Structure 1
Amino acid sequence: MNATVRCAWAGADPLMQHYHDTEWGVPVRDARMLWETLMLEGFQAGLSWEIILRKREAFREAFAGFDPQAVAAFGAQDIERLMGNAGIVRARAKIEATIRGAQIYLEMQARGEDFADYCWSFTKGQPLPGTGHATQTALSALISKDMKRRGFKFVGPTIVHAWMQAVGMVNDHAPACFRHQQVTAAPKGT
Structure 2
Amino acid sequence: MTQDFGLKTHDSIRCSWAGSDPLYVKYHDEEWGRPVYDDKTLFEFLILEGAQAGLSWITILKRREHYRKAFADFDVQKVAAFGDEDVERLMNDARIIRNKLKVNSAITNAKLFIKIQEEFGSFSSYILGFIPDGKPILNRIEKMGDVPARTELSDKISKDMKKRGFKFFGTTICYAHMQATGMVNDHLLNCCAR
> TM-score over 0.5 for the alignment?
yes
Cross-structure match for 1:10? 18
* 1:177 maps to amino acid: C
The SS at the match of 2:63 is: helix
Instruction: Give the CA deviation at 1:36.
Output: 1.3
Matched, 1:165 2:179: yes
Which runs of 5 or more structure 2 residues have no equivalent in the other structure? Answer: 1-8, 142-146
| Partners of 2:120 and 2:126 within 8 A in 1 | no
* 1:73 maps to amino acid: A
- Percentage of matched positions with identical amino acids: 50
Q: Which has the higher strand share?
A: 2
Matched, 1:149 2:157: no
Mark the CA change 1:2 to 1:77 in structure 2 (over 3 Å): closer, same or farther: closer
Instruction: Give the CA deviation at 1:131.
Output: 4.8
Cross-structure match for 1:106? 114
Structure 2 CA distance for aligned equivalents of residues 131 and 137 of structure 1? 14
The partner residue of 2:104 within 85, 91, 96 is 96
RMSD: 1.3
| Partners of 2:116 and 2:126 within 8 A in 1 | no
**Count of aligned positions:** 180
CA displacement 1:92-130 (0-9 Å, x = unmatched): 101101001111112223335310100111113100022
Mark the CA change 1:17 to 1:116 in structure 2 (over 3 Å): closer, same or farther: same
* 2:130 maps to amino acid: F
Matched, 1:134 2:148: yes
TM-score of the aligned structures, taking structure 1 as reference length: 0.91
Structure 2 CA distance for aligned equivalents of residues 136 and 107 of structure 1? 26
Instruction: Give the CA deviation at 1:35.
Output: 1.6
| Partners of 2:30 and 2:193 within 8 A in 1 | no
Cross-structure match for 1:65? 73
The SS at the match of 2:173 is: helix
TM-score of the aligned structures, taking structure 2 as reference length: 0.89
Structure 1 CA distance for aligned equivalents of residues 163 and 34 of structure 2? 27
| Partners of 2:15 and 2:187 within 8 A in 1 | yes
Cross-structure match for 1:40? 48
Structure 1 CA distance for aligned equivalents of residues 46 and 140 of structure 2? 21
The SS at the match of 1:95 is: helix
Which runs of 5 or more structure 1 residues have no equivalent in the other structure? Answer: 181-190
CA displacement 1:74-109 (0-9 Å, x = unmatched): 111110100000110111101101001111112223
* 1:129 maps to amino acid: L
